Amino acid sequence: MIGSSSCRSPMHRPDEHPDIKSGRIGILLINLGSPDATSFWPVRRYLKEFLSDPRVVEAKGLVWWFIFNGIILIRRPVSLGAAYEKIWNQEAGEAPLKTITRRQAENLSECFADKDAIEVDWAMRYAKPPIGEAIVRLKQKGCDRILLFPLYPQYSAATTATALDKAFEQLKSMRWQPAIRSVPPYFDHPAYIEALAHSIRQHLKGLKWQPQMMLASFHGLPEHFLTKGDPYHCQCQKTARLLRDALGRSDDELLLAFQSNTGRGKWLEPFTEDTIKDLAARGIKNLLVITPGFAADCLETLEEINLRAHDEFLGHGGENFSMVPCLNDADVSIEMLASIAGEQLSGWA
């Protein structure tokens, strides 16, 4: 039976040695992360940690070192900080991604409130709160089994893998390691597809116009990730196909594109920015954009899509533009997360 238990060293009397808690289960939600503030140095620290990750940038050598330290870390924090400032949660003093991920963990915890043995926590791969501290915190609460839940529906080495790497890095330093499971990519999970479809249907009810076209915008990746075996591109394609089926849309009514492409190398195509301009040029006046690869609204959705892409579409002849919010902490999202987590806890809880 699952419950909270403790053991004491036989070398100590009960009143001389603190309890060592065990017998509980932890669920750790993991997302990407964001700077601690929008000013130069916090953004620079975040960028340095993010772009120093070999899972994210595979380039090596002196040329990359000079580009990274001599150009990117000098120029990019200014523009990136200005972008964050546009969408910053001023009341909480943090990026929306943190606010939403915290709420997801809190609400998911309520789903398991009748199970005293389950603890839910959250962490970020980059910046704060760090994954390692969350694992230690769960262990201190008696969680000798932890389910790692990277909030990336589609798997990539640059997202899911590096989040798990960081968790395993913490495990290497622990004498009593908790047993670990990780949630597999849920790009085609029925609960995920239905949650997306439901959110789109609800969003459409609030519009005074109907879209002529829907665009599913996923985060881009360098094309060599695909050629090296990363399944991300294929999983994005399947998510889009299943979503079309769920909404009763044809291939021509729900397109797929990739955003956030940077640098000179070849990235996954078509690009979201180019697609939006092309749709406007073709006479599409009403456009709805969805971002199925993001579990929570962040810089890439709130600033890149809802602000910049919106202005691009209207600036090239479009008339009505709307972005469906990410699933965030809506009831349908929490139910979906609870369903997926519940499946992975089989045999534990």
pTM of the model: 0.93
Task: Give the Cβ contact number of residue 113 at 10 Å.
Answer: 9
- What digits encode the pLDDT tens for the residues 266-309? 999 999 999 999 999 999 999 999 999 999 999 999 999 999 99
Q: Identify the band that residue 157 occupies on the pLDDT scale cut at 50, 70 and 90.
A: very high
CA gap 116, 2 in Å, rounded: 9
Three-state DSSP state, 29: strand
Element (H, E) at 184: none
d(CA 85, CA 321): 22
The CA R_g of the chain, rounded to the nearest whole Å, is 22
Residue 301 lies in a domain: yes
CB atoms within 10 A of CB 8: 14
The answer to whether position 45 is within a domain reads: yes
Look at residue 6 and tell me whether its pLDDT is greater than 70: no
Written as six digits, the tokens of 20 are: 């060592």
Range of the domain at 60: 40-87
pLDDT digits (tens, 9 = 90+) for 54-102: 999 988 889 999 999 999 999 999 999 999 999 999 999 999 999 999 9
**In the chain, how many domains are there?**
2
Residue 348: the pLDDT is 93
Mean pLDDT of the chain: 94
Which of 48, 67, 87 lies at the terminal end of a domain, its last residue? 87
- Rounded Cα gap, residues 89 and 99, in angstroms: 8
- Tell whether 319 and 196 lie within a shared domain: yes
Which range among 58-62, 224-228, 246-250, 330-334 shows the weakest confidence by mean pLDDT?
58-62
pLDDT tens track for 158-195:
999 999 999 999 999 999 999 999 999 999 999 999 99
Residue 71 within a domain: yes
pLDDT bin (cut points 50, 70, 90) of residue 113 is confident
Q: How many residues does the chain have?
A: 349
pLDDT in tens, 31-64: 999 999 999 999 999 999 999 999 999 888 899 9
The residues facing 130 across adjacent strands are: 124
CA-nearest of 220, 217, 215, 219 to 268 is 220
pLDDT category at 211 given cuts 50, 70, 90 is very high
Indicate whether 214 belongs to any domain. Answer: yes
Q: What is the pLDDT of residue 18?
A: 53
At a CB cut-off of 8 Å and minimum separation 6, what does 120 contact? Answer: 26, 27, 28, 29, 105, 106, 108, 109, 112
* Cross-strand pairs, 321: 287
To the nearest 10 degrees (0 to 180), the angle between helices 73-87 and 40-51 is: 110
Record the tokens describing residue 231, joined without a space: 């399944």
Domain assignment present for 9: no
Residue with tokens 């990235």: 267
Domain end, chosen from 22, 57, 87, is at 87
The CATH number given to whatever domain includes residue 314 is 3.40.50.1400
Domain boundary among 87, 118, 150: 87
Residue 264 domain flag: yes
